[in-house]
Amino acid sequence: MMRKSEYALWALLVLAVLAAGSTMVSLARSQSASAANSEIYRQLDLFGEVLERVRSDYVEKPEDAKLIEAAINGMLTALDPHSSYLNPKHFRDMQVQTRGEFGGLGIEVTMENGVVKVVSPIDDTPASKAGLMSGDLITHLDKEQILGLTLQEAVEKMRGPVNSPITLTIVRKGVDDPFDVKVTRDVIHINPVKYNAEGDDVGYIRVTTFNEQTTANLQKAIDDLKQQLGPKLKGYVIDLRNNPGGLLDQAISVSDAFLDEGAIVLTRGRNLEETQRSNARPGDITDGQKLVVLINGGSASASEIVAGALQDHHRATIVGTRSFGKGSVQTIIPLGSNGALRLTTARYYTPSGRSIQAKGIEPEAVVEEELPEDLKAKADLQNTKGEANLRGHLKGEGEDESAKGDDEESGSSSYVAPEKDKDTQLQYALDLLRGIKSVDTETKKKVEAN
């Protein structure tokens, strides 16, 4: 056993060594941080030099605000297809849109290879009535080429006064030549939930988008269908086909409406402490009635959260084709009077821990929509490229970094027959609820949420 004097001496030596080690670690970290800061400042100096050269030597005098906005957007769009800068006007427009009413044509769009791509036309809007389809590429607006514009600039050009016309030049798979479509702008009122009784025993509910009104309108639809069908009610078809998504909190509350317990969605950010879990509260607004959820290649984001949660909890049978595969969360970060930043801040996961980023949701019952005779020779007409095919997309877990996107990992047919009696997927769902068809899900264990 050590004497006290010897113990004190060794203790001092150990503390000195630890302090020295701590100082060296702190110094190394400080040097590392300093080197990183030095590099970013060097890059900013380069940016400043280029900016000044453009301002002084460009053939025409540029607008400083436009130069900075374009630079910010260039930085963000280089991250992934869903991050962007919203100037004050675009930020106001986005806020109006999420409330369920905005001005425009009525299409959800993204940018692909320098042109605007239609993700989905919104029902009962000028774009839908004009015949625009998921997967259409818009190359010109009023004969002016889109190439070179940002997505925000293209969207801005498509917006305008109510009743004013705009001509879109469309490139469509299966159609040899580009063609023009004239669309008249209107105020777009988004009714996110439409419903009706199918026969006297099934409730049909179509959710077109997830805005601030979705959950309330869903509750109203369920209440009305319960009253209308009474004891004959056998279940509900929840149609999420060609639903491009929307607000995360609405996806959570819609899922919660059908679940009594367990996780709904997990979101994981860059750091472990940013992981969040949303849980269902007791209470199923359908009183446990059977559910069939329809999805296809145009079902994205919030739609996939709902489908994934109900699938993992064995609460619904998923019917249709593989979904789009957008498994990332964008946070809107206000910048005071300078607009806002739309930044991808997290991936989301289904209750079982599945990431659907660049993969999509696979239905239990894969049912391809039957194409009309005039489209059967052009079967790829309605094939929607999924998240995995978007340039610069956030890589999915396990996705090969060197993959070129030649083999689709998400997205599928987005064709939906306009007549319900010819809607193969809907008819299959109705047969499931009525017991005419069945899907073997007995071997699939109910997910224990992480």
**Catalytic residue numbers?**
301, 312, 326
Query: One-letter amino acid identity for 392?
Result: G
CA distances from 177 to 44, 131, 174, 182, 331 (A): 45, 16, 9, 17, 39
- For residue 377, the SS3 value is coil
The secondary structure of 228-279 as a DSSP string is HHGGG--EEEEE-TT---B-HHHHHHHHHHH-SSSEEEEEE-SSGGG-EEEE
Question: With contact defined as beta carbons under 8 Å apart, do 269 and 346 qualify?
Answer: yes
CB-based contacts of 378: which residues, under 8 Å, 6+ apart?
A: 173, 174
Q: What is the CA radius of gyration of the chain?
A: 26
CA distances from 402 to 393, 405, 406, 408 (A): 13, 9, 11, 14
CA distances from 104 to 97, 133, 248 (A): 10, 16, 23
CB-based contacts of 386: which residues, under 8 Å, 6+ apart?
A: 297, 322, 323, 324, 325, 358, 360, 408, 409, 410, 411, 412
Residue 51 to residue 55: CA distance in whole angstroms = 6
- Give CA 267 to chain center in angstroms: 14
Question: With contact defined as beta carbons under 8 Å apart, do 324 and 396 qualify?
Answer: no
Query: One-letter amino acid identity for 315?
Result: R
Query: One-letter amino acid identity for 259?
Result: L
Query: One-letter amino acid identity for 279?
Result: N
Check residue 441 and report its DSSP letter.
-
